[in-house]
Amino acid sequence: MDKIEKSEAEWRSQLSELQYQVTREHGTEPPFSGELTYCKDSGLYHCVACGAPLFSSAQKYDSGSGWPSFWQPVASEAVATEEDYSHGMRRTEVHCPRCNAHLGHLFPDGPAPTGLRYCINSASLQFKPTE
E strand residue ranges, the chain:
43-47, 53-56, 60-61, 69-70, 80-84, 91-95, 102-107, 117-120, 125-129
Tell me if residue 119 is catalytic: yes
97 Ramachandran zone, left/alpha/beta (phi>0; psi -120 to 50): alpha
d(CA 98, CA 1): 7
Out of 47, 50, 96, 119, the active site residue is: 119
* Residues noted as catalytic: 119
